Structure 1
Amino acid sequence: MPDSPSVVAGHGRAAILTPDGELLLLPTEAAAERLRTMPPPILVHAPATFRRLGMRAGRAFDLLELFAFVRPAETAAPTPRGLALALDDDHPPTGLEAEVAHLPDLAAALLHQLVQGRDTLLNRDAAVLAARMQQVGWEWGGYVTHALGRPDAAGSNEPLKVWKVLPEWEDAAPQPPSASHPVSQAEARARLATMLGPAAEQRPGQGDYAGAATAAFAPREVRGDPHFVLAEAGTGTGKTLGYLAPASVWAEKNKGAVWISTYTRHLQRQIDSELQRLIPDPTERRRRVVVRKGRENYLCLLNLEDSVNIASGGFMNQQVVPLGLIARWAMASDDGDIQGGDLPGWLPELFGGGLIATLADRRGECIFGACPHFRRCFVEHTIRRSRTAELVVANHALVMTQAAWGGLDDNAVPTRYVFDEGHHVFDAADSAFSAALSGAETAELRRWLRGAEGGRSRSRGLSRRLEEIVADRPALEAPLEAALQAASALPPSDWASRMHDEGPELDEIEPARANPSEAFLRLIRRQILARTSGAEAGRGGGFGTLECDVFPINPDTAQAADRLARALARIAEPLETLRVRLLARLTDEAEKLDETTRNRIEAICRSLTRRALTPLTAWTAMLKELLAPHDEPGQRPSTILFLRLDRRDAFRDVEVGLHRHWLDPTIPFVTTLASPAHGLLVTSATLRDSGSQDPEIAWGAAEARVGAPHLPSPAIRAAVASPFDYSEQTRAFIVTNVTPGNLDQLAAAYRALFLAAGGGGLGLFTAISRLRAVHARIAPELEQAGIPLFAQHVDAMGNATLVDIFRTEEESCLLGTDAMRDGVDVPGNALRLVVFERTPWPRPDILHRERRIHLSDGNPKAYDDRVVRLRLRQAFGRLIRRSTDRGVFVLLDRQAPSRLMSAFPAGVTVRRLGLAEAVAETAAFLQTRAFHSPRTSA
């Protein structure tokens, strides 16, 4: 064991256990001063700990690093208590003093596991790897090699080269088309009962829901007219198992796949976990169920090899430690998902997210069959598994992209879908079918085509990716070279540095020499700054996001748009020629091409379409729209064009561009995905607006948000009420004496409410600045009371990590923004209070302006109200996840209109009262159960 102190840092104070056993509780400044004279400390999550201590990051024995080495592809909440629970500790510590005293025990337990696992296959080369990591400064290296019984192991880079030992995939015969046998309600209910087991709690609504969901799996009668089921299932219904029952029956009966789509990664993991009830055997479940994400989510073995080679050459030596932990994880990972899979979310936080980002194929540079690791590729493994799987758990963005492109990797498109978190279909479609002609997007295309153009980038250009395919073939080399030459019209990576150039524009002096993309970007930036209001542009020095309408367009901008459109055409034409000629090889040389080369050509042609031709086509169309006659104000457009400038400060533009969104993005959603499908189930706990007095209006609005009116036949509606007794399980208050904008009063309200609940509070904010200000004001006092406070945009942790901590530490509180409102699922006592800073009105941007005019049936106010009510319902829905939960919802906005309060479930009475009364009632209501056990301190 290291002869080192242990430290746990809170807000304003820290606990230190010295090597000789003395336990100190000190202010953070004093603790930091003490640690500077001591050996590297044992701690949990070094970046967060050093930040709380006000220290620069330094050497440390981080237990998370040891955990990642000893138990790769497993996770734990990154706190002493979280690690203790992951190690099956019967007495996890509570409070700073208990936590710091427990750190040496956690280290000993992890090292002891290495002793016990010396002879496992996973640990065959672990000592050599640990010794290599020790050579570059890994504090745990010597202790790990000692535990493995090889204290004199010689370090080597060989264990980093996991691409040599990972299993290879094998191709299978193409799957025949699925059958179309229906699923009866009796079959769905029987499957549900099997999944629940005989001891399960009886929930009649769950069986009704499963029965209603079977309509989405009926045989299609007319081409282009799918069975579209819109099912609202109140919180607690058990909708996940409710739709998995008929979906799994259909997949088994028809030998086909059902694609289940979610909006959040958390729900993907939850569904995968629920399927253990259906398929307990892990091997069988892996064969029949696949969690599918985009390529950018998986470890790229070629990128890993590049990084290892750089580190092996003596450059970037500090990367050897994270690469070693990644290598351990890759050996144990289920599917190589580096974003939200079994790689702990806190691992990138320990070393900075930059390295992890470079290890995935985020830039579309895959060389497919030409890659030496192609047959071991995690992505290719997943693709082949999904071809024969019964249930594919994907996400809205991937599913919509797949539909738009006519298949992701093999031109296969599903026929049956379930869209969970269906209230996000509109937003997901809005993102999937929008386009942006911007500095970052165009520069990214230039990099994809031309590769690295100076600097230390490892970017592989199109020429390198195609070198073996086009070599010695003039018919292919000529259009490739023409496209790469024409791509110089796109901006280089440093385009933003020239947006602020003073004096006459280069394109005004010598148009032929000016980069047409940069000229256009400069002119639209000028238009944005000229047409945004003084208050808007001057707020914060003009920082943040500024938007303005395109029309009437400046004449100079119109000329620049025309010139850029012609330049983009000069890129697209040879690329299309190249694509057509590559595809011709598949026919002309059918007898000569091996399977690897054929697959590679097909993959390259898909990449050309997606990464280059599709955006170039969209950008050209957008530029032509600028030059064409446009609709008069008030007329309903099909698409919305606007200009946007994102600024970091007065001297740095982050992004500037022309944006195009569909007015109603469910139109392309229906055209590309719903119409070709045979059946869809769209489900959520919050599909309908509960504020409508007319059920037909509420259903109509819900259908409009998912595109049902654009289909020939009406949607099949189903609704199952929540089984919870909200009148008994919840309380809801609007606090009437907190002044809007007064940060001191806002902070006092959060402090008092969190203390009254004894922790377990989720604070939601509509602005990051207010979140940070409140956190700074209340964190130390809450810490003194034994309530740790964590926050988005403050702690050196990602959202998933923060939620894991919040779920594990029952007395902690968490501050967050919209992502926490929709993405947090914390059943039980850990979440018992939700405090909303103010009414979550829609952001008043151009996109919302146009939609509230044209999609509101003539009542823009009602459109805004509907958005707010759905957001409030989502926030309130975080509170009660089980029949035994109790919770309080507080809105700190005395101006909140009463008409919005119908957002809450039946039985919830929203009361307006002062802060003192709300605090007293919160404490009294939550303490009626014996769950309040605040932490104690010396």
Structure 2
Amino acid sequence: MLVHAPATARRLGLPQFAACFDLLELFAFAAPAQVAPPTPRGLAMALGLDLPADDEAAAVLLPDMATLLLRRLSMARNVPLNRDAAVLAARLREGMDWPWAASVMAALGQEGVKPSSDPLKVWRRLPDWEDTAPPTPPGSLPVSSAEARSRLAEILGGEAEQRPAQADFASAAALAFAPREAPGAPQVVLAEAGTGTGKTLGYIAPASLWAERNGAPVWISTYTRNLQRQIDGELARLYPDPEQRKREVVIRKGRENYLCLLNLEEATAGLMPSRLLAIALVSRWALATRDGDMQGGDFPGWLAELFPFGAVANLTDRRGECIHSGCPHWKRCFVEHSIRRAAGAKLVVANHALVMVQAALGGGEDGPAVRYVFDEGHHIFDAADSAFSAAISGGEMAELRRWLLGAEGGSGRARGLRRRLEEVLTDHPALLPLVDAGLQAGGVLPAPGWPGRLDTATPRNVAERFLSSVKLQVLARTAEADPLYDAECDLAPVHPEMLEAAAELRGALQQLLAPLRSLRDRLGEMLEDTEADLEVGDRIRLDTARRNLDRRAVTPLVAWDAMLGAIPTEPPEPGTRPVYVDWLAVSRREGRVADAAMHRHHLDPTQPFALGVAAPAHGLLITSATLRDTAERDPEIAWSTAEAQTGASHLPLPAIRAAVPSTFDYARQTRAMVVTDVGRDGGQAAAAMSALFRAAGGGALGLFTAVRRLRDAHARMAPALEKAGIPLYAQHVDAMDNATLVDVFRAEEDACLLGTDALRDGVDVPGRSLRLLVFDRVPWPRPTILHRERRLHLSSGRPSGWDDAIARHRLRQAFGRLVRRGDDRGVFVLLDARAPSRLLAGLPEGVEVERLKLAEAATRLREFLRPDLAGA
């Protein structure tokens, strides 16, 4: 009996266990849609048991946890969720001799039940969504500062600790909910809330009040899934009843995050024994889940790690193959449910990527919002940079070919455009010539096997010739480098072969675009024809086909045409400020060229954000703990820079500025050190980090600016830490998603974790679990072509200041992970003797940075953290 068989086998250096009683499997079966860190301590926390003090105590506790899970299952044997649970367990015993099957059947009192695969077909038991009347126009009633304070007090309750800073923040946030006075001129509030302010409930107070008064949802947007989950947890204070919370709060993400019922149905057909348990546990979860979210919702992130690769991951729509109304499960679809629930919710918790991609696509499935809260507002620049960009790459073009032509010469669910429009074409055969013309023209796109031909320079068609010309120019214009690294070069001056191939590709893509655009327009005309007597189902199919065609084919083809048409025959004048930054790149995998691309990004991505997202809204609150560069001596420059980075400077009305300081005493609660005697090679940095981790007794987060250095450090550090009894986990090494890694790190107080940017901010680990944070070196921005152009044109004449501000912000964000509560203590260490003092000036006020040798740093942090290590 153990917890997480694959991880246990790896830790012991053993092959995969042939059979064992894995408590995670039992937990997922008996408590579906309940999340627990995948460790003995994590399961004990989830089950409400006393936490084991050490590994021996954890081992002793395992049978007790199994007994408790089976007892709870027995007590719930008559609930609808468990109607077919015993039948499913019998199927698992028959199909793969699942070790827990007999115990589960006994707990349910049905030892002799016959096995069946029917319980796997959960789509038969899921509810249909129902259309409702269109929402009424939202009101414009304001929320006063006093009302926001009053609502905050209600949420907190009478016995809550009084936090004046939180109430001040709620007052400032309320200003974003004032009525809009002119089209395109939203009310904008920039509010910096220091760590510990309680900004989440601070903005939920006025947001919820405005939504109740005005009959429209407020969209709360975050940068990370972690914060989406944290906000959802905070909303339990506002809506304690889970059923009410499900009605009033909706978590929205992209389609690729949700279970696809069609994929699940196809996975159950001809099911192999090695995947039977995975599908069974997902089916159990599908009956209990709140919204079908498999990425950061109530789906246990560790479940996929227990089974062969792809057994779980392939159940989401990761390749954009959704056929919408053509799907037999469309009326039960989790995504469609969430879209319709969002229209009637009070609060929609989304992410920057979804909000901006929907704006880039002209409104998307949810339609435009009237009021936004952008938490993690310091990431608006990066999120907009990703959403409002384009690339003509082998992967992108091949994906479009697959979407048009379907899976060619092999298995796969890609249906192709003709199959996707099957019902529409049956009812409207006049559209068939346009479809056929598009499919014929789609042959110009990279054909299956194109990566191998790109690597060997043997192109088969016009698109592959373009990719080969991109590769030629990049390799010709860049220095000989490590073949494991990607490479890039400027677009201009353009290689003659590249210019010729680009013109040829543009002509071919225009021939592809013409019939697809005509098909889209024809579908739109049919929908707008007032004399056409269309059934509701036919209208839905036509509209779905039109929107899909526009999003998946017409929009990217239009962008590619613009990019290829803008390739200059002559280099631009030096110093000319561009609207877009175009460049060429090749990506490598295991020493081989895997793809080639032409990229286009806005020089300033906050411009399309301001135009497409902010200007149509009536009000925006943009908040973060780190909106401003606190090292900037001139407050006006600091605020102006924040406005430029968030797009507020592009809007007609000046932003309202507010800043609420942190409530923490950083001078007392933290220490900051720069280690001066560690070299920059990976071996020395890994040894130093390991020594510091051992000195702290664990509870450490190590941050790296490169994945390769992280992996190398993990290989060097793991043996010594293991010998010291300190578990070491790592992003890009352990087969866990980031949310699961953080859950484990939070639950295991003496574990250590290695990560990159994704773990630098947006992660909340209070208490002893995070008491030491170590950077392997200064997190300077990568010296890319895009960075070079922004450094030159957006830095207000201070290019070096642009780099400094980015590095300072990253250090400050990471430092903010150390103290999450009033009794937290933490140490910040930078293993880079060359770190300039001006970068460390951005750390919180009162923090003094010491420059020490490694041995002295280890002694200092051990002395500072001793109360924590002693359990005080």
The TM tier, using the shorter chain, reads over 0.9
Identify which range, 280-289 or 548-557, moves more after superposition.
Answer: 280-289
2: CA distance, partners of 1:771 / 1:501 = 31
Q: What corresponds to 1:691 in structure 2? A: 631
8 Å Cα contact 2:408/2:448 also seen in 1: no
2: CA distance, partners of 1:563 / 1:475 = 31
Q: What corresponds to 1:140 in structure 2? A: 100
How big is each residue's C-alpha offset from its partner over 1:704-736, in whole Å with a ceiling of 9 and x where there is no partner?
A: 101112112221111010011111111111111
2: CA distance, partners of 1:382 / 1:339 = 15
Taking structure 2 as the reference length, what is the TM-score of the superposition?
0.97
1: CA distance, partners of 2:228 / 2:391 = 28
Q: CA separation of 1:932/1:765 partners in 2, compared to 1, >3 Å: closer, same or farther?
A: farther
1:318 alignment partner AA: S
> Following TM superposition, by how much is the alpha carbon of 1:136 offset from its aligned partner in structure 2, in angstroms?
2.9
2: CA distance, partners of 1:628 / 1:218 = 51
2: CA distance, partners of 1:239 / 1:898 = 30
Residues 1:429 and 2:366 are matched in the alignment: no
Q: What corresponds to 1:623 in structure 2? A: 564
> Following TM superposition, by how much is the alpha carbon of 1:914 offset from its aligned partner in structure 2, in angstroms?
1.5
Residues 1:547 and 2:503 are matched in the alignment: no
What secondary structure does 2:80 align onto? coil
What secondary structure does 1:136 align onto? helix
How big is each residue's C-alpha offset from its partner over 1:112-143, in whole Å with a ceiling of 9 and x where there is no partner?
A: 33233222221111111112222332332233
2: CA distance, partners of 1:847 / 1:861 = 15
Residues 1:529 and 2:475 are matched in the alignment: yes
Q: What corresponds to 1:246 in structure 2? A: 206
Residues 1:883 and 2:822 are matched in the alignment: yes
> Following TM superposition, by how much is the alpha carbon of 1:590 offset from its aligned partner in structure 2, in angstroms?
5.8
8 Å Cα contact 1:114/1:148 also seen in 2: yes
1: CA distance, partners of 2:273 / 2:504 = 47
In percent, how many aligned pairs have the same letter?
60
What secondary structure does 1:903 align onto? coil
Residues 1:390 and 2:350 are matched in the alignment: no
Give 5+ residue unaligned stretches, structure 2: none
Aligned 1:311-330 pairs, distance under 5 A: 311=271, 316-330=272-286
1: CA distance, partners of 2:55 / 2:204 = 43
Alignment size in residue pairs: 870
Residues 1:719 and 2:659 are matched in the alignment: yes
Q: CA separation of 1:46/1:380 partners in 2, compared to 1, >3 Å: closer, same or farther?
A: same
Q: What corresponds to 2:620 in structure 1? A: 680
1:345 alignment partner AA: G
1: CA distance, partners of 2:443 / 2:153 = 62
In the alignment, which of 38, 47, 66 is matched to residue 87 of structure 1?
47
Q: What corresponds to 1:229 in structure 2? A: 189
1: CA distance, partners of 2:396 / 2:248 = 38
Identify which range, 881-890 or 763-772, moves more after superposition.
Answer: 763-772
8 Å Cα contact 1:48/1:797 also seen in 2: no
Residues 1:557 and 2:517 are matched in the alignment: no
In the alignment, which of 537, 540, 546 is matched to residue 596 of structure 1?
537
Q: What corresponds to 2:522 in structure 1? A: 581
Identify which range, 225-234 or 108-117, moves more after superposition.
Answer: 108-117
1: CA distance, partners of 2:205 / 2:427 = 56
1: CA distance, partners of 2:868 / 2:762 = 27
2: CA distance, partners of 1:139 / 1:601 = 50
2: CA distance, partners of 1:742 / 1:515 = 44
Q: CA separation of 1:742/1:359 partners in 2, compared to 1, >3 Å: closer, same or farther?
A: closer
Q: What corresponds to 2:157 in structure 1? A: 197
2:812 alignment partner AA: R
In the alignment, which of 335, 356, 367 is matched to residue 291 of structure 2?
335
> Following TM superposition, by how much is the alpha carbon of 1:238 offset from its aligned partner in structure 2, in angstroms?
0.7
How big is each residue's C-alpha offset from its partner over 1:6-63, in whole Å with a ceiling of 9 and x where there is no partner?
A: xxxxxxxxxxxxxxxxxxxxxxxxxxxxxxxxxxxx2222222222233332423322
1: CA distance, partners of 2:314 / 2:210 = 40
2: CA distance, partners of 1:401 / 1:466 = 24
Residues 1:106 and 2:65 are matched in the alignment: yes
Residues 1:380 and 2:332 are matched in the alignment: no
Give 5+ residue unaligned stretches, structure 1: 1-41, 507-513, 934-938
> Following TM superposition, by how much is the alpha carbon of 1:929 offset from its aligned partner in structure 2, in angstroms?
4.6
1:804 alignment partner AA: D
In the alignment, which of 795, 810, 826 is matched to residue 749 of structure 2?
810
> Following TM superposition, by how much is the alpha carbon of 1:641 offset from its aligned partner in structure 2, in angstroms?
0.7
Q: What corresponds to 2:453 in structure 1? A: 498
Q: What corresponds to 1:852 in structure 2? A: 791
1:731 alignment partner AA: R
Identify which range, 293-302 or 132-141, moves more after superposition.
Answer: 132-141
Q: CA separation of 1:624/1:216 partners in 2, compared to 1, >3 Å: closer, same or farther?
A: same
> Following TM superposition, by how much is the alpha carbon of 1:85 offset from its aligned partner in structure 2, in angstroms?
1.7
8 Å Cα contact 1:234/1:686 also seen in 2: yes
1:225 alignment partner AA: A
Q: What corresponds to 1:839 in structure 2? A: 778
Q: What corresponds to 2:363 in structure 1? A: 407
Aligned 1:395-794 pairs, distance under 5 A: 395-409=351-365, 412-471=367-426, 473-501=428-456, 514-534=460-480, 537=481, 539=482, 542-588=483-529, 592-627=533-568, 629-650=570-591, 652-741=592-681, 743=683, 745-794=684-733
> Following TM superposition, by how much is the alpha carbon of 1:589 offset from its aligned partner in structure 2, in angstroms?
6.6
Q: What corresponds to 1:369 in structure 2? A: 325
Q: CA separation of 1:57/1:742 partners in 2, compared to 1, >3 Å: closer, same or farther?
A: closer
Q: What corresponds to 1:32 in structure 2? A: none
Identify which range, 791-800 or 211-220, moves more after superposition.
Answer: 791-800
Identify which range, 57-66 or 416-425, moves more after superposition.
Answer: 57-66
What secondary structure does 2:183 align onto? coil
Identify which range, 348-357 or 522-531, moves more after superposition.
Answer: 348-357
8 Å Cα contact 1:365/1:465 also seen in 2: no
What secondary structure does 1:455 align onto? coil
In the alignment, which of 351, 373, 377 is matched to residue 307 of structure 2?
351
8 Å Cα contact 2:780/2:806 also seen in 1: yes
Q: What corresponds to 2:74 in structure 1? A: 115
How big is each residue's C-alpha offset from its partner over 1:360-411, in whole Å with a ceiling of 9 and x where there is no partner?
A: 222232222232222111111111111111111100011111222232226x
1: CA distance, partners of 2:529 / 2:690 = 73
Q: What corresponds to 2:125 in structure 1? A: 165
2: CA distance, partners of 1:845 / 1:805 = 35
Q: CA separation of 1:892/1:214 partners in 2, compared to 1, >3 Å: closer, same or farther?
A: same
How big is each residue's C-alpha offset from its partner over 1:877-900, in whole Å with a ceiling of 9 and x where there is no partner?
A: 000111111111111111100111
What secondary structure does 1:786 align onto? coil
1:240 alignment partner AA: T
8 Å Cα contact 2:493/2:571 also seen in 1: no
Q: What corresponds to 1:128 in structure 2? A: 87
Q: CA separation of 1:532/1:930 partners in 2, compared to 1, >3 Å: closer, same or farther?
A: closer
2: CA distance, partners of 1:773 / 1:930 = 28
Q: What corresponds to 1:15 in structure 2? A: none
Q: CA separation of 1:108/1:469 partners in 2, compared to 1, >3 Å: closer, same or farther?
A: same
Q: What corresponds to 1:18 in structure 2? A: none
> Following TM superposition, by how much is the alpha carbon of 1:779 offset from its aligned partner in structure 2, in angstroms?
2.4
1: CA distance, partners of 2:492 / 2:701 = 43
> Following TM superposition, by how much is the alpha carbon of 1:606 offset from its aligned partner in structure 2, in angstroms?
1.1
1: CA distance, partners of 2:38 / 2:690 = 24
2:645 alignment partner AA: R
